[in-house]
């Protein structure tokens, strides 16, 4: 008798059983780093036990829920719903460590994340220093300000910022770990960029600008014009002969300068300092006619003669033959 085949309507691939689907769902349960609506299962003197819909139940310390360590039974009881942040699993206790306060912070993190995406400023107060940076309070949310992000220049004195309110940029938000990283350096860099753009837009040759001496070299002086630097060559510092710019100007000195040349393409500004003072050579013949006898100070001696400075910054040469 021939065997009958019953394969006509059977699938060649076996579909997952209900048990397998449940097992897969169980394996994928991972609430860590999430805010969950939990149900209070039990309350004892130290903990509140909560079903958060995970493999393991969670616990919240009674101390966190109410000041003084006693649960207000009138407001919290078994069966109540409570919103909690699900933290790490504690092997020794066999529970997920949960927090109601962190759950509130997560909503604040949503706002902070939006500030980050929109590239907006946020104000925070420095509450403590730690290894590598500062701890900042962002209206209840703790953020980390790395030492490298405090200023555009290296900062070593963290104590100087304690208690200060700062405008900051949010550069990183990790809601699952409740971590926020902020930067003050980016705020300062943006301000410098705007100042530089304003200076570049407004600057014209012949303008008189105020600046601060930023650096002194053998060949000239760099001046901070409030967002960009300009250079005064040594020949444009004084009408009289000088050996080094430090003879006339000093670091940190606030001075007025004249824009001599502005290269828009290269963003370079040549400045003059002596141009703000009267040129002593302009009317030299009116003040020192040929044949006049004058007093002066010998400032340099060469093989061919001696240079003499008169009292009005004019120099003359006594030739060797004289």
The per-residue pLDDT for range 118-167, each reduced to its tens digit, is 999 999 999 999 989 999 998 878 899 999 999 988 888 899 999 999 99
Instruction: Enumerate residues 6+ apart whose C-beta is below 8 A from 162.
Output: 126, 127, 128, 129, 134
Query: Rounded to whole angstroms, how far apart are CA atoms 153 and 274?
Result: 32
Q: What is the pTM of this model?
A: 0.48
Query: Rounded to whole angstroms, how far apart are CA atoms 17 and 2?
Result: 33
Determine the pLDDT at residue 15: 56
Task: Pick out the chain residues at pLDDT < 50.
Answer: 1-13, 19, 21-23, 25-29, 68-71
**What are the structural domains, with CATH classification, of the chain?**
28-102 (2.40.50.140), 119-189 (2.40.50.140), 204-276 (2.40.50.140), 292-319 (no CATH)
Determine the pLDDT at residue 183: 95
Query: Rounded to whole angstroms, how far apart are CA atoms 169 and 188?
Result: 10
The per-residue pLDDT for range 20-52, each reduced to its tens digit, is 544 454 444 455 557 788 888 988 888 889 998
């Amino acid at each position: 008798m021939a065997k009958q085949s019953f394969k006509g309507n059977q699938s060649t691939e076996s579909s997952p059983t209900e048990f397998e689907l449940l097992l897969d769902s169980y394996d994928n349960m991972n609430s860590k780093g999430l805010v969950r609506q939990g149900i209070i299962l039990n309350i004892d003197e130290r903990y509140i036990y909560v079903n958060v819909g995970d493999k393991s139940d969670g616990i919240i310390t009674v101390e966190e829920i109410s000041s003084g360590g006693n649960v207000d039974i009138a407001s919290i009881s078994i069966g109540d719903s409570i919103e909690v942040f699900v933290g790490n699993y504690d092997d020794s206790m066999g529970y997920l460590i949960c927090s109601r306060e962190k759950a509130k912070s997560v909503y604040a993190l949503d706002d902070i994340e939006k500030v980050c995406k929109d590239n907006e400023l946020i104000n925070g107060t420095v509450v403590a220093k730690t290894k590598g940076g500062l701890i900042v309070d962002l209206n209840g949310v703790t953020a980390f300000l790395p030492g490298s992000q405090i200023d555009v220049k290296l900062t070593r004195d963290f104590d100087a910022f304690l208690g200060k309110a700062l405008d900051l940029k949010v550069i990183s938000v990790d809601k699952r770990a409740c971590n926020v990283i902020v930067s003050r350096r980016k705020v300062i860099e943006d301000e410098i960029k705007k100042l530089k753009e304003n200076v570049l837009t407004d600057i014209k040759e012949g303008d008189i600008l105020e600046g601060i001496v930023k650096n002194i070299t053998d060949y000239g002086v760099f001046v901070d014009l409030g967002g960009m630097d300009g250079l005064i060559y040594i020949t444009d510092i004084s009408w009289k002969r000088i050996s080094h710019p430090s003879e006339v100007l000093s670091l940190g000195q606030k001075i007025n300068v004249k824009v001599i040349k502005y290269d828009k393409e290269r963003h370079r500004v040549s400045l003059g300092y002596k141009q703000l003072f009267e040129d002593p050579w302009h009317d030299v013949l009116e003040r020192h006619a040929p044949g006049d006898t004058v007093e002066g100070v010998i400032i340099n001696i060469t093989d061919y003669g001696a240079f003499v400075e008169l009292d009005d910054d004019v120099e003359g040469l006594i030739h060797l033959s004289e």
